[in-house]
Structure 1
């Protein structure tokens, strides 16, 4: 049956090359469209190194401080402060781990006595950062909890920085490095981090306890420049963690006088925090899903209608052939099944072509499609893309093509034999 179907498809490709080519191309473009959307979404939301725990993590990126409870609009927004982290988040009992990071921005990194300086981002962290985010170490290891508590100036750098400063990954371990003219010691070298990893991305990592500004704690100060990541044992614990956070916020609000701290619904899961790009700007997640879902459906309706018309044209040209088959005893169901099988093979051919086109589009339009929230361009790697993505896209188009082929096939199969032989539909 399969061999017969493939032979029939090859015959149709030779006999009707233009219509068959348009059918395959239409399927390929639809597949490519869905693939690009799903691949980019997968890259932004899936668990992959170093952010392997996205699915069971909660995030607090922003806070809102009302300066006068009698005037709710007298408020300011910022990143959370270290005081807030120590009062509310570090004491949490439910999570597996809590880490606090501080974005120190671009810094000058160099080796003592060297002429070359590297302008690179610095992320200041605590020791639990290395538990929540799983980096691939090329050499060395991260700084420990004891190192963090003592404020020892150790640093982890990425491969590109190590090679630029020391010429080799292994040569960097134990060597001095100057970060903004302050002496640190390199304790580990990790693989370069993808820009889509918003919370783990940097090129140099050091304990925030080694930096006077990042480690500053002022009682009652809620506004700062820190980000908090909470790792749950399971996503089932999210609500329990949120309730525990709410109790902590309520407790410190009793100490703030006329001021009031608000977390605006945080901690957020990973997908929700993607839509909270700014403190006072938040897009409803359900509304976003509906918007993009409707957009995809509308876009896919166009090739569906076109493919239906093409299939109808192909069926008209095959009326005589199908009429002869009916006269020799083929049932209406067998004729419909034959057409659907042929369409299935064409869909598979279009699917493979669409897979190639999707990666071509990602390569040619990477500056647009792979742009991160802050304008930088990320890179794609195999760990971002699951084979499930392709099969989901293929199933979308398979259903699309079967629906577009069924009605014309059914009409042709139910055409009387005499009309079929006379090519009258």
Structure 2
């Protein structure tokens, strides 16, 4: 230690550069690790990431006279057929993953833009939004096509100059359509991309949806939280339901696949638009290469 201290004092400039450079390199490694961790660990309000199975990307082969291949999310009907009433699941949800820019205002007040997402009632049993006032809309509200929404406290303050219980039941115009405020929640970070929105609106479970001119494809994805230890049972049941769907589609010479879904959160983050089961090992290799390169800097400084 005395020798080290002597060297540091005898060459202060070089010593300072070495120490600061090593510290900054280690800090950079910590930042990179943290940025990755916040996307994969259980993080409020996505507190069930480690237990959730994700599904939604569909590949429909043999569609139309030209036997086209369609890659899209699922229609509401197909998503519901695959996930609703799963015996081995604690909760399931059908939601649209895309956030749309909506114009909101109240009578006599300026219009402002907010991020809106369409979800079903099961979404609030999987995503633990912190309710400040009110409650989420339920299945009866959705099936009755009642126009109820959940908003963040920042939207409530901007629209009503309040984020308390007095906001519940009041009318918010969203794209000029009157919507009743059912609940107010704490603001959500965009880091939690599945949960993130500023306004949550009911997804239509009754109106037919279609993508690429096919009623089996649409904008919907699903979340499934299996009962403890029942992940494989849930996957097996989903695959059985998929086989039934494909038996029906065989009449039109079509085949639907789910790109290896349902799969866990790590696979979900590995590829947003997979055509097969996402390769998590590729991402791991890239991270280890990055860590190795970053570690070279402090290694050279120390040497």
TM tier, shorter chain?
Answer: 0.7 to 0.9
Residue 84 (structure 1) shift: 0.5
Distance 1:59 1:222 in 2: 18
TM-score scaled by length of structure 2: 0.88
Match of 1:289 in 2: 284
Distance 1:168 1:10 in 2: 60
**1:146 matches 2:140:** yes
Name 2:102's counterpart in structure 1.
107
How many angstroms does 1:68 deviate by?
5.0
1:244 aligns with 2:237: yes
Q: Could you list the runs of 5+ residues in structure 1 that have no partner in the other structure? A: 309-425
1:13 Cα shift? 4.4
**1:26 matched to which residue of 2?**
21
46-55 vs 84-93, greater mean Cα deviation: 84-93
3-state SS of the aligned residue for 1:88? helix
* SS of equivalent residue, structure 2 residue 104: strand
Match of 1:158 in 2: 152
Deviation at residue 188 of structure 1 after TM alignment = 1.1
CA drift at 1:50:
1.0
Q: Distance in 2 between matches of 1:135 and 1:82?
A: 23
Deviation at 1:216, TM superposition (A): 1.6
More divergent stretch after superposition (11-20 vs 163-172): 11-20
- Specify whether residues 85 and 198 from structure 1 end up closer, same or farther in structure 2 by C-alpha distance, changes over 3 A only: same
Deviation at 1:289, TM superposition (A): 0.7
Residues 25, 295 of structure 2: 8 Å contact kept? yes
The aligned counterpart of 1:216 is 207
Alignment of 1:291-306 (within 5 A): 291-306=286-301
- Which residue of the partner structure matches residue 55 of structure 1? 50
Matched position secondary structure for 2:195: coil
Q: Sort the Cα spacing of 1:59 and 1:281 in 2 relative to 1 into closer, same or farther, 3 A.
A: same
Q: CA deviation at 1:66?
A: 1.0
Q: How far apart are the structure 1 equivalents of 2:193 and 2:16?
A: 42
- For residue 272 of structure 2, the aligned residue among 269, 277, 282 is 277
Q: Give yes or no for the alignment of 1:231 onto 2:222.
A: no
Root-mean-square deviation over aligned CA pairs: 2.6
CA shift, 1:281, in A, is: 8.4
Partners of 2:69 and 2:47 in 1: how far apart? 36
Aligned residues of 1:26 and 1:307 also touching (Cα < 8 A): no
**What does residue 83 of structure 2 align with?**
89
Say whether the 8 Å CA contact 2:153–2:185 is kept in structure 1.
yes
* More helix as a share of residues: 1
- In structure 1, what is the Cα distance between the partners aligned to 2:64 and 2:264? 29
More deviation, 138-147/278-287: 278-287
Contact 2:53 2:263 in 1 (8 A): yes
- Contact 2:59/2:259 (8 A) holds in 1: yes
1:253 is the counterpart of 2:246: yes
Aligned positions, number = 296
Note the alpha carbon deviations across 1:281-331, whole angstroms, 9 max, x for none: 8762102211220232133134313311xxxxxxxxxxxxxxxxxxxxxxx
Counterpart secondary structure, 1:194: coil
After TM superposition, the score normalised by the length of structure 1 is: 0.64
C-alpha displacement at 1:12, in angstroms?
Answer: 5.6
Q: What does the per-residue CA deviation read over 1:48-94, in whole Å, with 9 as the maximum and x for residues that have no partner?
A: 111111111011131111125998x7210111111102211113221
SS at match of 1:295: helix
Selected match of 1:193 from 188, 193, 206: 188
If each structure's strand is expressed as a fraction of its own residues, which one has the higher value?
2
Q: CA deviation at 1:204?
A: 0.7
Range moving further from structure 2, 142-151 or 84-93: 142-151
